[in-house]
């Protein structure tokens, strides 16, 4: 499970990025894939333990969440990425 802490940090950074988008800008975006924030928080909470106790399934969930966030950010039109 090399890189788990890096993946978790990336998830938190991407969430901060998404959360910082002002509503007036976000409302102009085309439809984006949904992110289940409750599920995301639950998985991150489960990973708040020593790395050696994290299961392969939990590791897979964390990687899947990172991929979903990357896809979400990809949907943001380029002209709107420049504001921040």
Q: Which of 70, 8, 60, 81 lies closest to 33, judged by CA?
A: 70
Please tell me the distance from the alpha carbon of residue 27 to that of residue 23, in angstroms, as a whole number: 6
Range 2-29 average pLDDT = 83
- In tens, the pLDDT along 29-80 reads 766 556 778 888 888 888 888 888 889 998 899 888 888 888 888 877 777 6
Domain ranges of the chain: 4-81
């Amino acid at each position: 499970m090399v890189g788990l802490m890096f993946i978790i940090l990336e998830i938190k950074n991407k969430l901060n990025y998404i959360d910082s988008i002002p509503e007036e800008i976000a409302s102009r975006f085309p439809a984006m894939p949904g992110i289940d924030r409750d599920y995301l928080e639950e998985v991150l909470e489960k990973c708040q333990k020593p790395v050696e106790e994290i299961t392969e399934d939990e590791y897979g969930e964390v990687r899947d969440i990172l991929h979903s966030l990357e896809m979400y950010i990809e949907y943001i039109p380029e002209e709107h990425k420049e504001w921040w």
